[in-house]
Structure 1
Amino acid sequence: MAVISVIFALKFTDYLNLIVLSFLIYVFQFYYKYFTRPNKLPGPLPLPFIECSYLFKSDAKQLFISLHEKYGDICEIYLGGLRRISISRPEYIENMLTHSATDTTFMIRWPYSEGLEELGVAGRGLLFNHDIKSWKYNRQFFNKAIQSPSFNLEAIKWVDKIFQELEGYWESLANSKLSSDISLDNKHKRSLETDLSLWTNSFTNDIIIVLTTGERSYSMASLYNNLSPIKVNISDALIEDSDRFVRGIKEHTLVASYFTFLVSSLRHYVPFIRNNIKSLVENKDFLYEKLELIIKKRRTEIEETPIGEKLRNDLLTSLIIANTKRDMDDLKTVEGEIFRPLTDIEIRGNMLDACLGGTNASANLFGFLTYYICQYPQVKQKMISEIDSIFPQNTCINHDDLFKLDYCVAIIKEVSRIMPVVSLLARYTNNPCEIAGYKWDAGTMFHVNLYGVHMHKDHWFNPDTFDPDRFYKKNDEIGRYKFAFTMWGGGLRICPGRKLAMIELLSLMVLIFRKYNVELVNEKLPLNSVTSLVTFCEKLLVRIEPRD
């Protein structure tokens, strides 16, 4: 009763004074903690409540590039309730990316957060999983399926088969007089003007869906139907509305940075951010619903298949049967504990990671490849000569010969250096460590600015110049620090799909450039890209015509 009496006795000015006092106490504590922090590094001044979000405009790549330019190779920024250490020098990341089967200091990419929980990825799958035991558990089955020789051979088979489907759509569009993309040159060759980024995203989505589920989606067919008056029947597609699924994967990646770099109050109460969050949550629900339907359908098919009968060799089947009666001969243990079967939620997390990595990374990197190849005729001719020497017209793509394409591999590496699809590597320490000469407590958040590392003038000659010869033959071993180039990350968190990505990229380079001449519609236009956690090739208008 006394407390209630005091509450009613207080006047409006008393409440106002209490609010002001509370605010001043919070500000004092905020800046006391800031100015007494260990290892003081240069960086923008954080503000109470919003930290450094006044600098964040969803483009994480540009944010960390600007930090590097202004504050140097190691600096700091406060976002999402965390002090984040930005590193842009190769020597500083050696401990972070060195492989170790026992040291778990740098195994966590992101700590648990409300944002990642809201996104539905906290503690699930591989990409954002903060639980080391859960991550190891998921990685065991994921790697087993995606890195097997049979999986790689299956990938080559499907790339070739789906490319033939792609050619059919291009030919139909080029032959249609109603298509606005058609033009005839002086030699009366049919040529197709189109946005290649749309096709590569649809192509890689069709590839990753069939490799992960064993069934077809028809993203390219859906795209073709949007562009052509002639329609194809895709009623038996595994994913209804495949076009929306592809766009959903892109949106999921683009807006995810809001959940990792902004605190909950900003996400839900700042109007323009709140609208983006609402859209992303709706998109997330759409993606999860589609993936859950696929998992349930395949689980039912497996349950109805007699034990002992051979099953399809795809990621989803491997994840469903792992450590069940169908897989008893291949039980795995970690730290003495036998793995249990994966739940549907865990399988969904792995499937989403496969779709995010298998679609976004390969598609966007191929778009960047095409842009730079078309901008540098000498590089293009040297590449075509190598392709023609190893894969003459009408010869089949095979695994061993693909990896004889040394110059093509050099192009892929140089494009990845100058235009990394993933521009930031995140690591959250669970043990004390030493980085850049400083001792750091457990619970420190590091961000490796890959653009800064890949363009560092102390390690690269003319880093702004596109030059695949840096990686050709033995040139990449001369005068370059080991960690100055990190295309796939490093340590135990190195990209598990790196072999599949190289197969996709090299196969596409062969299949397209040995048969077609590809040119930019406007060579003077800069590369059109947009960045969040991943850099997307936003639009790439090209002219495609058969080679002589």
Structure 2
Amino acid sequence: MIIQRIVDSFKITDLFLHFFLILVTYIFTFYYNYLTRPNPLPGPLPLPFIGNLHNLTYDIKQFYEQCQQKYGDICEIMFNGNRCIIISRPEYMEKFLYPTTFLMKIPYLQGIDEMGFYGRGIIFNNDYKSWYYHRQFFTQALLTPKFMDTTINSTNKLFEELNGYWQSLGLHNSLDNNWTLETDFSAWFRGFANDIISIITTGERTYTIASYYNTQSTIKSEHPEALVEDGNKFVNSSIKLIYDGKFFMFAGPFIRHYVPIIRNMSISMLKNRDYLFERFDIIIKNRRKKIEEMPLDDVLLKPMNDEQVRINLVEAILGGTDTTSNLFCFIIYFLCKHPHVKQKMLSEIDFILPKSSKKLYVSQDDISKLKYCKAIIKETSRILPTVYITPRYITEEYEFAGYKWPVGTQFHLNFLAANKHPEIWLNPEIFDPDRFYDDNKYDQKFNDKNLFMFGGSQRICPGRKLAMTELLLLMALVFKNYNVELVNKNEPLKVNAGLTINCEELKVRISPRI
């Protein structure tokens, strides 16, 4: 009765007044705590409730690029109510990449847990024993000579199929072999990378390049339609999952669950995740018997239960599809924008793989000789890395930049800014592969040391050798056989940034090299 009387005594204006007072108190407390925080660093002003989420969601790539320019090599932002220190200088990054003290990448994030990745696999796993267990299987599988032989053979074979698709599309609109085809390389090579990583990790194809070809041609691929019909959807959903990961990482649970429009976005993203998980479960079911029959050194998935297998497959296939295909598209874009670099590359390819040789196959020995091509890959990764930040957080008090940072402090290593730092790199905005090729022009060892292409320490990318091999193969195979030009040379590269930088579209014009 007493409580009822108190409630009845309140008028609607009283409720609004109390809400206003609570809101003002919260905002005052928020900024008081912000202005009196220990170890204050420069950075964009956070907003109540959302911190710097507005900066991160608008153009996250540009935001991280500008952090070093506006606030220096060490600055801070806030998201999910936590401070995050952004590091934008290579020698500072070494302090976080190489000591095992900083093995942990992120604290517990409810969003990543909701996506089904936290504490599983290797990317978002902070339990050392579990992480090391999964890491060992990736390392044993992805770095063995037998695995690399499979990669080379599969890439050569799949390129023959891709070559056939391009010829079919080109000849469809031409009366002779002097055909020209305008097409989207980003779609082709997302499918190509997805097919390759699927073959070498599970022994089965996703038929994504065949699926994309079927969307472009009235003449369908020779593969059964049942095998290829979902291929294009599968690879696009895979890329979407990576982009969605940014949202679940930075947006808090209240925003995701209760803000109407955003809530619907979250539900849609989770449905996409469920679709992919179901597809991976089908792959596991189909392959389980054969996996069990394989020798231990032939497969990274054998001793694990189905959930562990699924997470490893998701990480391997998404990682192998996303970073490789996007970096290859960036390489194509920069080569077409810099004809002198492309001509120097063509000279190397034509010397190692003479035009008189009609074979499509490129061997391991051929790959080892493509020194300038390798320099192009490194320089492209410096200018536009697919992985533009990597997180770390400390599990014990640590002194850095003249401050003592408490346990749980989060750090973001800003590769975008470090790769163009004016005090580290000569003419940092200029695309010049000689940085990693010509010792007489540049200090190549210094540049290699300051390029964090695959991360570092125990967290270094386990697929790094696979990625370099596949990129070199594709450069040799594509440019040995085709002239490649941008459809619109003045158009900027179309990218968006999720957990990685993704090439949305790359329209090129290709024709056979005769």
Same fold by TM (over 0.5)? yes
Match of 1:267 in 2: 256
Give the superposition deviation at 1:432. 1.9
- SS across alignment from 2:301: helix
How far apart are 1:14 and its partner, in Å?
Answer: 4.9
- Structure-2 change in CA distance of 1:238 and 1:24 (3 Å): same
Q: Which moved more, 1:490-499 or 1:24-33?
A: 24-33
Between stretches 268-277 and 109-118, larger displacement belongs to: 268-277
Deviations 1:111-162 (A, max 9, x none): 2111101111111111222333321121111211111111111000000000
For 1:248 and 1:44, locate their aligned partners in 2 and report how far apart those are by CA, in whole Å.
Answer: 34
Task: Say if 1:217 and 1:96 are closer, same or farther in 2 by CA, change over 3 A.
Answer: same
Partner of 2:321 in structure 1? 359
Match for residue 437 of structure 1 among 402, 411, 434:
402
1:460·1:480 contact (CA, 8 Å) conserved in 2? no
1:300-379 equivalences under 5 Å are 300-302=289-291, 305=293, 310=294, 317-320=299-302, 322=303, 342-379=304-341
Identify the match of residue 124 of structure 1 among 120, 127, 135: 120
Structure 1 CA distance for aligned equivalents of residues 80 and 223 of structure 2: 43
Q: In structure 1, what is the equivalent of residue 65 of structure 2?
A: 65
8 Å Cα contact 1:74-1:88 kept in structure 2: yes
1:488 corresponds in structure 2 to 454
Matched, 1:93 2:93: yes
Q: From the superposition, tell whether residues 445 and 476 of structure 1 become closer, same or farther in structure 2 (CA, over 3 Å).
A: farther
- Counterpart-to-counterpart distance in 1, 2:226 and 2:353: 33
CA displacement 1:431-452 (0-9 Å, x = unmatched): 2223333221121111111111
Change beyond 3 A, Cα 1:18–1:526: closer
Contact preservation (8 Å) 1:362, 1:505: yes
User: What runs of 5+ residues in structure 2 fail to find an aligned partner?
Assistant: none
Distance (Å, rounded) in 2 between the aligned partners of 1:239 and 1:433: 52
Could you tell me which residue of structure 2 aligns to residue 157 of structure 1?
Answer: 153
Residue 485 (structure 2) aligns with: 519
1:160 maps to amino acid: N
User: How many Å separate the matches in 2 of 1:150 and 1:517?
Assistant: 33
Q: Distance in 2 between matches of 1:462 and 1:478?
A: 15
CA distance in 1, matches of 2:319, 2:280: 15
Seen in structure 2, the aligned counterparts of structure 1 residues 236 and 442 have a Cα distance that, compared at 3 Å, is farther
Residues 277-297 of structure 1 deviation map (CA, whole Å, 9 limit, x = unaligned): 222111101111101111122
Distance 1:378 1:263, change over 3 A: same
- Matched with 2:136 is 140
SS of the residue corresponding to residue 448 of structure 1 reads strand
Q: What is the rounded CA distance, in whole Å, between the counterparts of 1:137 and 1:2 in structure 2? A: 61
Moved more, 381-390 or 55-64: 55-64
Measure, in 2, the Cα distance between the counterparts of 1:364 and 1:208.
14
The worse-fitting range, judged by mean Cα deviation, of 474-483 and 509-518 is 474-483
CA apart distance, 1:26: 2.7
Q: Compared with structure 1, are the counterparts of its residues 487 and 237 closer, same or farther at alpha carbon in structure 2 (3 Å cutoff)?
A: farther
What letter corresponds to residue 484 of structure 1 in structure 2? N
Aligned counterparts, 1:159-174, within 5 A: 159-174=155-170
| Contact 2:485/2:508, CA 8 A, preserved across alignment | yes
Letter in 2 for 1:143: T
Counterpart amino acid of residue 258 in structure 2: Y
Residue 221 of structure 2 is aligned to residue 232 of structure 1: yes
Match of 1:460 among 410, 419, 425: 425
Give 1:171-210 correspondences, 5 Å limit: 171-177=167-173, 189-210=178-199
| Inter-partner Cα distance in structure 1 for 2:228 and 2:281 | 11
2:201 is aligned with what amino acid?
T
**What are the ranges of 5 or more consecutive residues in structure 1 without an aligned counterpart?**
323-341
Counterpart residue number, 1:546: 512
Look up the SS of the partner of 1:26 in the other structure: helix
- Equivalent residue of 1:42, what SS? coil
AA at the equivalent of 2:121: G
What are the Cα deviations for residues 169-203 of structure 1, in whole angstroms up to 9, with x where unaligned? 001111113xxxx698xxx7112111111111111
| CA–CA distance in structure 2, aligned partners of residues 408 and 237 of structure 1 | 38
1:276-317 alpha-carbon deviations (Å, 9 max, x no partner): 3222111101111101111122224445x5xxxx55976xx4
Structure 1 counterpart of 2:310, which letter? R
Q: Does 1:424 align with 2:406?
A: no
Contact map agreement 2:437 2:444 (CA 8 A) in 1: no
Q: How many residues align?
A: 510
Question: In the alignment, is the contact (CA less than 8 A) between 1:59 and 1:533 conserved in 2?
Answer: no
1:255–1:276 Cα contact (<8 Å) kept:
no
Task: With the length of structure 2 as denominator, give the TM-score of the two structures.
Answer: 0.93
Give the match's secondary structure for 1:86: strand
Secondary structure of 2:102's counterpart equals coil
The whole-number CA distance in structure 1 between the counterparts of 2:228 and 2:124 is: 25
Structure 1 residues 482 and 516 mapped into 2: Cα distance closer, same or farther (>3 Å)? closer
The answer on 1:84 being equivalent to 2:84 is yes
Q: Look up the match of 2:494.
A: 528
Cα separation, 1, equivalents of 2:429 and 2:94? 24
State the Cα distance separating 1:523 from its structure 2 match. Answer: 1.6
Q: How much has 1:260 moved relative to structure 2?
A: 1.0
Asked whether the equivalents of residues 249 and 356 of structure 1 are also in contact (C-alpha less than 8 Å), the reply is yes
Change (3 A) 1:346 1:5: farther
Which amino acid is the alignment partner of residue 31 of structure 2?
A: Y
What displacement does 1:236 show? 7.5
Cα distance change on mapping 1:478 and 1:361 into 2, 3 Å: closer
For residue 109 of structure 1, what is the aligned residue in structure 2?
Answer: 105
Residues 195/87 of structure 1: CA separation in 2 closer, same or farther (3 Å cut): same
* CA distance in structure 2 between the partners assigned to 1:400 and 1:476 by the alignment: 27
Q: Which has the higher helix share?
A: 2
Contact 1:93/1:435 (<8 A) preserved: no
Equivalent-residue separation in structure 1 for 2:241 and 2:175 (angstroms): 36
SS in 1 for 2:343: helix
Matches of 2:228 and 2:195, distance apart in 1: 10
Q: What is the Cα deviation at residue 33 of structure 1?
A: 2.2
SS in 1 for 2:134: helix
Partner in structure 1 of residue 352 of structure 2: 390
8 A Cα contact 1:205 1:219, kept in partner: yes
The residue that corresponds to 1:332 in the other structure is: none
| 1:257 matched residue in structure 2 | 246
